[in-house]
Structure formats: C-alpha cells, structure tokens
Amino acid sequence: MGLSVCPISIREANRFVLHHHRHHRPPQGALFAVGVEKGGELVGVALVGRPVGRGLQDGRTVEITRVATDGTQNACSFLYGRCRRVARAMGYERVVTYTRQDETGASPRAAGFEQVALLDARSWEDEYRIDGGRHDQSTPAPRVRWEIAV
C-alpha cells in the first residue's frame, strides 16, 4: 500500500502535531493543511502559513510551519511535495521551511528543496517572539532554511 494525500482541517492537523511532533507545539495559525494516509489511516500532516520572518512576507511566499508523522517511511517528503503543489495551485511563487541543523534535511531535499541559509539559535527565538514571550517551549536550536520555487 502506498501513500495518498487526504483532506484535513487545520484543527485536526494541529491535534496530530500535538501528539506526534518531536519538538514543537502546533503553530499559531495556518493558511492550509495537508494530510497523508496509508491504508486509510492518517500517518502525517503538514501545516502551511505566512512566513514567520518578516523579511519573507512578500505575499508570494508561504512557509511550511510544521510537518509531523508517525514515522511512516517517505511520509515527510511526500508532504513537502504536496505542500509545494498546493502552493503553486494557489498562486504562490516560493515555499520555505526550516529544519534544525542537527537534523539531516533528507525530507526537504528529497522533495526538491535547496538549503539557502544557516541560522543561529537566536534568530529562531527572535522570529517567534510576540510581546516578549515565545509561542514554542522547545529549546532554541540552530536551524537551516530551505526554499523551492513553485
């Protein structure tokens, strides 16, 4: 049995992230969510929203803010690819996402994303600040920005 895309609400995707993401809580908001299933069972989700970094908010760029799976092989790269397709269909021109520097980046790379920047831990923390507090309770970590034109 292969992987297939399935419709999912942002609320349902956030619940999945809450139970399956390794180091982040669900994001504050999203433009759309994509699900992946195998054998009729939900095995992963991705949430896509406006870029968190103000410098990327050009109206033509979206950010994959969360990808979470139950560990099913190839589910992450499948979701990155589907998010790109949906973004293209909606008229966006670029998709960005981030991984921690201690992660391999195999999934975004397999979906055609290119590594474009190495960012320190502080820049991660600064982008998620609102009123001096952090949305996310994870420890700030150095990260990699990935991009792909749609």
pTM of the model: 0.86
Instruction: Reply yes or no on whether the pLDDT at 139 is more than 90.
Output: no
Question: Whole-angstrom Cα distance, residue 70 to residue 126?
Answer: 29
- H helix and E strand count, the chain: 4, 9
Please give the pLDDT value at position 138.
58
pLDDT tens profile 51-80: 988 999 999 999 999 999 999 999 999 999
Please give the pLDDT value at position 130.
44
Burial label, 78 (beta-carbon count in 10 A; 0-12, 13-18, 19+): buried
Please give the pLDDT value at position 27.
82
Domains of the chain: 3-149 (3.40.630.30)
pLDDT tens profile 14-39: 999 999 887 777 888 999 999 999 99
SS3 of 122, please?
helix
Give the confidence band of 129 by pLDDT, cuts at 50, 70, 90.
very low
Please give the pLDDT value at position 7.
95
